[in-house]
Amino acid sequence: MAISWNVDITVLDVVTKAVSVAATRTDDADPDNPKSYAVLYAIIDTAPQKLAVMDNIWEQHQATTTKQTAIDAFIGSLESDAKANLEARE
């Protein structure tokens, strides 16, 4: 499983070192379903500020993964239950 991240940084203000960061994660197991995350405004003057932007994006990714796992478990069970029920009626 290969995962790649594409990161685009837009400079909003050179003087204050304000940026907008967009990150897209693509998994070769599901390449048609990339996940995108963004930090619309951040100051990246120091190393901790830069790390905070990456932490923010990673937290967004983790939240999305957790939510999708719960959805998959819920829907997966409903789909198999409905399939069994409907096929039993045939």
Chain segment 74-88, per-residue pLDDT in tens: 888 888 889 999 999
Q: Which domain holds residue 59?
A: 3-88
Number of H helices, E strands in the chain: 1, 3
| Number of domains composing the chain | 1
pLDDT score, position 74 = 86
**Which parts of 1-90 are beta strand (E)?**
3-13, 18-27, 35-43
Q: Structure pTM? A: 0.81
pLDDT tens track for 10-62 = 999 999 999 999 999 999 999 999 999 999 999 999 999 999 999 999 999 99
